[in-house]
Amino acid sequence: MKFNAFPVIRYLLFFILGITAYLQTQSGGVPSGSFQFSLTNIYYLIGVLLIIFGISIFFRKPLLRGTVLMLVIFLAGWTLTFQKTVINQPNHFTNLPQFTHYQATIVSNAEIKPKTYKVEAEINAIKIDGKWQKATGKTLLYFNREASERPNYGDIFLVKNMPREVEAPKNPEEFDYRRFLQYKAIYAHHFLWGKEFFKIGHDAPSKILEFSYKANQYADSVFKARIQTPNEYGVASAMVIGLRDDIDNDLLDAYSASGAIHVLSVSGMHVGILFLFLGWIFGWIKKRGKYGKQIFTTLIISILWGYAIFTGLSSTVLRATVMFSFIQIGTAIDRRQNIYNTLAISALLLLCWNPYWLVDVGFQLSYLAIIGIVFLHPYLNQLVTPNNPIIRNLWEGSSVCFSAQLITFPLSVYYFHQFPTFFLIANPFVAFFSFAVLPAGLLLLMVAPIPILSDIVTFILKYSLVWLNKSIFIIEKLPFATLKGFSISLPEMLLIYAVIWLFILFFLHSEIKHLRLNILIISILACFNITKDYFQSQQKNLTFHFIPKKSGISIIDGKSATFMADTALLNSSKIYNFHLKNYYDKLGIAHKNFLGLNQYANKQGVTFLDFEGKRILWLQQKFNGNLQGNADYVLLSNNAIRKLSPAFSKFQTGLIIVDDSNKRYVVENLKHQADSLHLNLISLYDTGAFSINE
């Protein structure tokens, strides 16, 4: 297999390099003027390169022609990403003066949260100094469920005040939600509690999307009416139409631990299952008549896009539908040997539409999984050829799962810091039941009004879901079902991919040089991990975490961590997963100890800590007296002190730390008092977490 046989892959790689180069220049959103001069120069440079390209064709210089073409594609990737970055538009609301009101149109389906409806909205106009002017840009809106009806796609609202910029992460290694939203062209959010908004009209920006969202809501209502058990309804809604609002946390954890979490997000796997199922059902059409292949292709692609509409045209399904549409077209015109070119064309088209999909984890995993299946599965399938059809199907299913998992697991570990040990056991069950769940779910949506037929389909769907969930729970309870609590760096991930690739080459060609090089890379990885393990075993630090409206500190001693907080916080897995997990994984924490504050505070709500010779005083409830003595650090929680004088008049400290359990106005007053008294004071809301390292 020669690389020259896949020219589109070369174009795609240089286009990706151009996108990546632009993304590296960004730092939380670049103002429009920052790159204006550079962009103008790039347009001139592209023009010059195109002239050189024409000259190279005339003088028949293939090397020069290829080099220039790759440079043009690289610059095209950079330029397109710049143009698709909405904050570079001068009329984006973040580039305009402060405003008092704005008009916004809902541009997404409502996501149901415990207390709010979460939607995306496009700002159309803003009011500055009593005058309206046009504006652009998306914001997240959170509507109070008790004070408002569910907002629908196309609803237009008049909103008072400005949306607030999404804040950067405030704890070490915390998930960067701000960057995640910026990659989706969202730069702000606004919580609406009932008095600051008013619905003024309805005008759907896209009739296709409006129909798609209504179809999505209809499908959800069918599942809710037909499947009464919560776990089965939640999985049906997630698997078939992509709504995960009603999935129980325990069920979600079970799917995650068994390596089947991808089944709960409508993505490439679901479209792939539907693609294979349709091929099995309608495959006979290809052999009928002169235009059998064309009719079959048209039918398959039409059903795939119909399914995409029922899922609300989510980005993951759109990407997968485009990818499989290209695969089907390539197959129809007998281009199977160029499947990699077909995949590259689909990826190039998708990235031209939205370059920011490149940094979407789902996009990366989908294409890697397909590449793994296309490349590895044929070789693995030849290793064993069982005569028994049941064993043969099980082997083929397992080899498909293994091919996809092998190619995607380094990237999954890099992002999610865990690895499902029994994925080879879980995925065949998932694939088997998914082949029943997905078609049965779609069929139910079509036959729901027909009494007897809909009952039969509901029975098949419900018990397929029951057995799917049972198999997942069984696998989750196996010992060492999931390896957790570790983190790998980008270089480590790339080295692991090198190891996998060299093993594949050795498996295919049996050349000892691949094995020798692999041993060298594995030795480098081992040395790197031994060194990292040593430094982690010696680490000591104390971190005052920023936790919204709460208090919490981590004391790290080697590979052990003690987290101190109030009992309610300790019992919140959501708080741990969002604010602490990545930090502990990065430090290689193997032993975690969670301690309630009430165990160590005295009657006055005071806790004394000693960390490597440094004294920490933690005040957790109202304190009216005068502090005596000294401490290196003082942590104030729950509005313990409102006046620094006289509390600190006879007390010496190097730094006063105010966490987010204090009311905002109290924090502002303390900051002003500290300035006048010449005391060092920081607010974790302003600075983020504060660490003491040894």
Report the predicted TM-score, pTM, of the whole model to 2 decimal places: 0.83
Residue whose token pair is 């599942």: 223
Number of C-beta neighbours around residue 62 at 10 A: 9
Greatest mean pLDDT range, 101-115, 359-373, 405-419, 428-442: 101-115
pLDDT at 34: 46
pLDDT band at 268 (very low <50, low <70, confident <90, very high): low
Q: Which of 362, 472, 356, 475 is nearest to 411 (CA)?
A: 362
d(CA 15, CA 352): 9
Most confident segment among 259-268, 594-603, 666-675 = 666-675
List of residues 6+ apart from 247 with CB closer than 8 A = 234, 235, 238, 264
Locate tokens 């003082």: which residue?
A: 634
Q: Return the closest-CA partner of residue 553 out of 660, 679, 436.
A: 660
Provide the 10 A C-beta neighbour count for residue 206.
13
Listed residue (623, 691, 681) closest to 657, CA to CA: 681
346 CB-contact burial (10 Å; exposed 0-12 / middle 13-18 / buried 19+): buried
Burial class (CB in 10 A: 0-12, 13-18, 19+), 528: middle
Q: Are strands 540-544 and 690-693 parallel, antiparallel or unpaired?
A: antiparallel
pLDDT beyond 80 at 396: no
Residue 290's alpha-carbon distances to 286, 294, 296, 329, in angstroms, are 9, 9, 12, 17
Over the chain, what is the mean pLDDT? 84
Written as one letter, the residue type at 478 is L
Q: With the C-alpha atoms ordered 36, 41, 44, 50, is the resulting torsion angle positive or negative? A: negative
**What are 596's strand-pairing partners?**
565
Nearest Cα to Cα of residue 182 among 97, 102, 317, 85 = 85
Alpha helix segments (H runs only) across 422-481: 423-447, 451-476
Residue type, 630: N
Cβ atoms 642, 620 nearer than 8 A: no
* pLDDT digit string, tens, across residues 496-534: 999 999 999 998 888 899 999 999 999 999 999 999 999
Whether residue 693 has pLDDT greater than 90: no
Q: Determine what percent of the chain falls in helix, strand and coil, rounding each to the nearest 5.
A: 60, 15, 25
Q: Tell me the C-alpha distance between 174 and 153, whole Å.
A: 32
Class of residue 532 by CB neighbours under 10 A (exposed 0-12, middle 13-18, buried 19+) = middle
Category of 359 on φ-ψ map: left (φ > 0), alpha (ψ -120 to 50) or beta: alpha
Q: Taken in order 50, 52, 55, 61, is the CA torsion positive or negative?
A: negative
Q: List, for residues 54-74, the tens digit of each pLDDT value.
A: 887 777 777 787 788 889 899
Q: For 290-316, how does the pLDDT look when each residue is reduced to its tens digit (9 = 90+)?
A: 778 888 888 888 888 888 887 777 777
* Whole-number Å distance between alpha carbons of 352 and 30: 20
82, with CB counted inside 10 A (0-12, 13-18, 19+), is: buried
User: 603 falls in which pLDDT band (50, 70, 90)?
Assistant: low
Beta-bridge partner residues of 121: 106, 139
> Is there a contact between 73 and 17 (Cβ–Cβ < 8 Å)?
no
Distance CA 234, CA 658 (A): 41
* 246: pLDDT strictly greater than 70: no
Task: Report pLDDT for 655.
Answer: 94
Mean pLDDT of 162-189: 92
Give percent of the chain above pLDDT 70.
Answer: 92
Higher pLDDT, 40 or 544: 544
Find residue 629's DSSP bridge partners: 651
Q: Which residue has the higher pLDDT, 99 or 261?
A: 99
Read off the pLDDT of each residue in 336-361 and give the average, rounded to a whole number: 84
Q: pLDDT band for 245, please (50, 70, 90 cuts).
A: low
- Better-scored residue on pLDDT, 34 or 646: 646
Q: Please tell me the predicted confidence (pLDDT) of residue 114.
A: 81
Other CB atoms within a 10 A radius of the CB of residue 269 amount to 24
Q: Please give the residue that has the higher pLDDT: either 169 or 59.
A: 169
Q: Is residue 612's pLDDT more than 50?
A: yes
Fill in the amino acid letter for 279: G
- Both tokens of 97, joined, read 């003066």
Indicate the length of the chain as a whole number: 694
Can you give the pLDDT at residue 260?
A: 67
Q: Which DSSP string corresponds to 220-274?
A: HHHHHHH--SHHHHHHHHHHHH---TT--HHHHHHHHHTT-GGGGS-SHHHHHHH
